[in-house]
Amino acid sequence: MSTTITKYATRAGAVAGIGAAGLLALSGAASAAGHAGTVHTHGSPLTARASASTSARSTGSYANGAKVTISCQTNGSKVTGIYGTSTLWDKVGKGYVSDTYVKTGSDGRVAPQCGKTPAPPTSTKGCSTKGLNDPHSCGAAVAWAKAHLGRSSSDYAHRCDHVVALAYGFGASGSQSANSHWAAIPGKYKHSGDTTVPAGGLAFFHSSSFGHVMISLGGGKFASNDIHGNGTYTTTTIAEIKSKWGEHYVGWAQPWFQANH
């Protein structure tokens, strides 16, 4: 096999047996009811299975390059494919394909758990990008944060302001630190001392060095880098940041970034 490709921004599902003769060619057209993806193999068809297992019966196949719609995802057999090794499988049509061979534009899950009623979208009421020209909306930024929870990357280590910028679609925040970011935000976008942070809002902490910033997931939960290990991206709270790092909470702000101001 060729060199494994990172899943970041090139999401894929692993193959569950490919190239079997006589497989039914399935349409790859995507519909609105699901997440769009593209099958990527080394050229052979990607076999779809009746369940998330390499030993399950075939339900057909998808050609390399076929457009597919992922209705839900589940865990099953571990498979090594173009985009690494994973137990995640995608429900496509009436069958399942391993996630390491399906490009979806994300390293994380992109569809609800199979067999479960999708949770209602997180309310971002109170968060607004109006007039800020952010590439992502508050809702899209929260979705990015949730999809990246549990990930560990050197790109995240000691770069909190960079991580929240990624959530909002920027390559860089434009600020040197969380401290300088907070200082630059116009007062009309700040809510000093307020700990009731809407999903998508940016919570800031001050310290004598660089400070800290993280994105709210709503309900008092936040997505933050480093708090549970350098470079890791996990869920935390304002109280944990204060007690573990001893930083002073200064308030939250709308997603204003120096990168576009």
Characterize 228-253 residue by residue with b for buried, 16 or more Cβ atoms within 10 angstroms of its Cβ, and e for exposed.
eeeebbbbbbbeebeeeeebebbbbb
pLDDT score recorded for residue 122: 75
Token couple for 259: 């990168």
Nearest to 165, CA basis, from 145, 189, 192, 194: 145
pLDDT score recorded for residue 5: 56
Coil, strand, or helix at residue 213? strand
pLDDT score recorded for residue 82: 92
Please, which residues bridge with residue 62 across strands? 46
Angle at 48 between CA 24 and CA 76, to 5 degrees: 165
- The low-confidence residues of the chain, meaning pLDDT below 70, are 1-33, 107, 117-121
Alpha helical stretches, state H, the chain: 138-148, 160-167, 178-184, 238-245
pLDDT score recorded for residue 2: 37
pLDDT score recorded for residue 157: 96
Evaluated on CA atoms 166, 167, 168, 169, the torsion sign reads positive
pLDDT score recorded for residue 115: 86
> Is residue 95 a contact partner of residue 48, using CB atoms and an 8 Å limit?
yes
The pTM score is 0.59
> Is residue 261 a contact partner of residue 131, using CB atoms and an 8 Å limit?
no
* CB-count exposure of residue 3 (10 Å: 0-12, 13-18, 19+): exposed
